[in-house]
Amino acid sequence: MAFAITQTCCADASCVSVCPVNCIHPTPDEPDFGRTEMLYVDPGTCIDCGACADACPVDAIFPAGDLTGSLRVYEEINAEYYAGRDVLAEATTAPNFHRWAPPAFTRVLPSDFAPLDVAVVGTGPAGMYAVEDLLLHTNARVTLVDRLPVAGGLIRYGVAPDHPSTKKIGETFARFHDHPRLRLRLGTEVGRDVTAAELARRHDAVVYAVGATAARPLGVPGEDLPGSLAATTVVGWYNGHPDIKPGAVDLSAERVAVVGTGNVALDVARILTADPETLAGTEIAPAALARLRSSKVREVVLLARRGPETAAYTRSELLALAGRAGADLVVDTHDPRVAAAVDQGEGQAAWLRGLPREAVDWSAPPPDDHRRIVLRFHSAPVAFTGDTEVRGVRVTGPGGDVEILAGRVVRAAGFRGAPVPGLPFDERTGRVPNTAGRVDGLPGTYVTGWIKRGPSGGIGANRTCARETVGALIEDAVAGRLPARRRKRFGRR
């Protein structure tokens, strides 16, 4: 019986290098890497050694025969990736594959190189992958800075509390906090407690991994009405983020509308419809748990601009909703195109096959005997309704405008970066302009993670991202392109 990779996989590829028979794909060298939401074990090649399960930081790998409940389907999902394919042959014919290419050691500092002093700003995945790379592959001394009093970034304050295996990766990162060449400075915000110029003066190089968690506005009238909440507020609330008040989310409404169908929208819907007792004992904030216990919410509707074939969620997050006891997942069939796409389509649309369907009457209250999540497609929001408080959201679709009555509306239309004083910032993209991690016009300053490439990609995507940035930093150090180091050499500090 082979092993299989399951829901919590964040595609960091830690398992790939330990597999003795190379049966986990796509590997970081293969064209599919970064395009699939997770990695897959080839059941035909796996020899059941279990090395991958030991290496996985989020407990995503199990013997396929041990999978139960909603995880059982992953045996098939792993096998599906290989059905009718020869991934090794595909990889070796890919344009970037070099058979027996000479090994390249471009990222290694010369052995007589004096230790670099590097500041890393941000303790989320991107900052920690950069720290890991610097500490394990160079003799650099690292100052690790974060504005919050607790390290972890979105692992601590973003990942939902009912995903404890995913949160476990925080322990993998935390092992570097006590490293003898690392100084941890929590509660230190760049732009408030220290300037970017000061950090640059005191270090040979500075890597910014400050994330991108500002809410992207929808740009529709009424979105600032009381009762309209950014997903960042709801996520911060249930995770106990120090910036969010414990009472920030009121759950006295029976229906909540969530604008968006990305994984964060699904997280919010899942937590708001969860049996609170399943969350007790997790890292959920006590105030949020207490409020969920007295919650009136019975229905969450997820609103998608376009059809099911373009929904933004990943399959594993959808499966986590569909397989739950205590809350149904229903597809609203107000538009005939929805049923047609689900029955005949592929990809995201096909994942909805088999789910209950209903043409929901949004002027009526939600059912009073059970909780449910409704997916409503082809419904672009045009306005939030209400005078002094939100009453609902008006959406436009093929049959004209419809008002979805909802006492709370959550805006989960994505994130964008926020400027850091002293760094350039592109207002259009919400990112720090950079070339392969080098901040444009600021030698010795680097970015990695969401502030570098934008707010997409799971935890594992930040590993290759940080690797590129640290590679650029090392290359610049060797080439004498770090301005602070040049000043140090010539005694002008």
Ligand X SMILES: Cc1cc2nc3c(=O)[nH]c(=O)nc-3n(C[C@H](O)[C@H](O)[C@H](O)COP(=O)(O)OP(=O)(O)OC[C@H]3O[C@@H](n4cnc5c(N)ncnc54)[C@H](O)[C@@H]3O)c2cc1C
Q: Where on the chain is the footprint of ligand X (CB under 6 A)?
A: 10, 121-127, 145-148, 153-154, 158-159, 163, 166, 189-191, 209-211, 213, 235, 264, 267, 420, 449-450, 457-459, 462
- Closest distance to ligand SF4 from the beta carbon of 51 (Å): 4
Of residues 123 and 261, the one with the C-beta less far from ligand X: 123
Q: Quick one: what does residue 352 bind among ligand SF4, ligand X, none, with the CB cut-off 5 to 8 Å set by partner type?
A: none
Q: Quick one: what does residue 47 bind among ligand SF4, ligand X, none, with the CB cut-off 5 to 8 Å set by partner type?
A: ligand SF4
Of residues 78 and 213, the one with the C-beta less far from ligand X: 213
Q: Are 455 and 210 in contact (CB under 8 A)?
A: no
Dihedral sign, CA of 136, 138, 142, 146? negative
Instruction: Tell which residue, 349, 465, 422, 469, has the closest CA to residue 199.
Output: 422
Q: Quick one: what does residue 142 bind among ligand SF4, ligand X, none, with the CB cut-off 5 to 8 Å set by partner type?
A: none
Stretch of 6-14, 186-194, 290-298, 446-454 contacting ligand SF4, by CB under 6 A: 6-14
- Binding pattern for the stretch 38-57 against ligand SF4, x by CB under 6 A and - elsewhere: -x-x----xxxxxxx--xx-
Report if residue 19 touches ligand SF4, rule: CB under 6 A.
yes
Of residues 56 and 442, the one with the C-beta less far from ligand SF4: 56
Q: Quick one: what does residue 235 bind among ligand SF4, ligand X, none, with the CB cut-off 5 to 8 Å set by partner type?
A: ligand X
Of residues 48 and 440, the one with the C-beta less far from ligand SF4: 48
Of residues 37 and 358, the one with the C-beta less far from ligand SF4: 37
Report if residue 11 touches ligand SF4, rule: CB under 6 A.
yes
Q: Quick one: what does residue 210 bind among ligand SF4, ligand X, none, with the CB cut-off 5 to 8 Å set by partner type?
A: ligand X
Q: Quick one: what does residue 170 bind among ligand SF4, ligand X, none, with the CB cut-off 5 to 8 Å set by partner type?
A: none
Q: Quick one: what does residue 121 bind among ligand SF4, ligand X, none, with the CB cut-off 5 to 8 Å set by partner type?
A: ligand X
Q: Quick one: what does residue 458 bind among ligand X, ligand SF4, none, with the CB cut-off 5 to 8 Å set by partner type?
A: ligand X
- Closest distance to ligand SF4 from the beta carbon of 314 (Å): 13
- Closest distance to ligand SF4 from the beta carbon of 42 (Å): 8
- Closest distance to ligand SF4 from the beta carbon of 167 (Å): 13
Q: Are 82 and 35 in contact (CB under 8 A)?
A: no
Structure tokens at 316: 């594993």
- Closest distance to ligand SF4 from the beta carbon of 54 (Å): 9
- Binding region for ligand SF4 (CB under 6 A): 3, 5, 9-15, 18-21, 23-24, 39, 41, 46-52, 55-56, 58, 60-61, 460
